[in-house]
Amino acid sequence: MKILVVDDDKETADYVAQGLTEAGHVVDKALTGKEGLFLAAGETYDMIVLDRMLPGLDGIGILRTIRTAGVGTPVLMLTTRGGVADRVSGLDAGADDYLVKPFAFAELMARVNALARRPPVSGEATVLRVADLEMDLIRRTVVRAGQRIELQPREFRLLEYLMRHADEVVTRTMLLEAVWDFHFDPQTNVVETHISRLRGKIDRGFGAELIQTVRGAGYVIRAPV
């Protein structure tokens, strides 16, 4: 999943982002309410982890604004306040769940997973398919022709991006930004290496190749003609 973490405490934001990244998710961070609102309203996320107490624009203000704008992304709100009235105000503003600081990361992960299992309000698919290849975004599984394929977290994220853009040519730069969060060219063959490994798992032994190289442009995943 692609997750936005909004928290002005850099240590907490880094801790949560690192744990979610290690679990195979793509994570963006915002350290201010203004930046958090800009990303939450302007980007597409599968989930938002939002601190209630933020300088300037607080979590409640962000929630009310994005809900008014029609953004239905599930929101897990973090707070140092554990009172009933505080939780109620957050839920009334549009939060889907509440977690009181300090918290164990295992509990945060469990709540993230629970929210991910809820039926999407927007109707966004939780299962991606290309030909006989199927990716379940909630169970984090990949199956081709009925055979389970084990992927490393980065490979899963790479395949997810390709499948979300099936039949579209994606460039090396697009993959570096979306999968590795590089907004510059590191001058390495990291993309080519991971595409090669992914092909070995997804295409080898299955007959038709789904992942194709578009010379001089990038890569595309598509069903065989």
Residue 165 near residue 171 (C-beta atoms within 8 A): no
Residue 169 near residue 214 (C-beta atoms within 8 A): yes
Full-model pTM: 0.57
Closest CA relative to residue 156, chosen from 182, 183, 170, 138: 138
Q: Domain extents for the chain?
A: 2-117, 127-221
Per CATH, the number for 127-221 is 1.10.10.10
Tens of pLDDT, residues 156-208: 989 999 998 999 999 998 898 888 877 777 788 999 999 999 999 999 988 88
Alpha helices, H only, the chain: 10-22, 33-42, 59-68, 84-93, 105-117, 153-164, 172-179, 190-202
Q: Is-same-fold flag (2-117; 127-221)?
A: no
CA-based max dimension of the chain: 59
Tens of pLDDT, residues 47-56: 999 998 888 8
Ranges of residues in the chain with a pLDDT under 50 are 122
Amino acid at 100: V
> CA 16, CA 197: separation in Å to the nearest integer?
29
Domain 2-117 has CATH 3.40.50.2300: yes
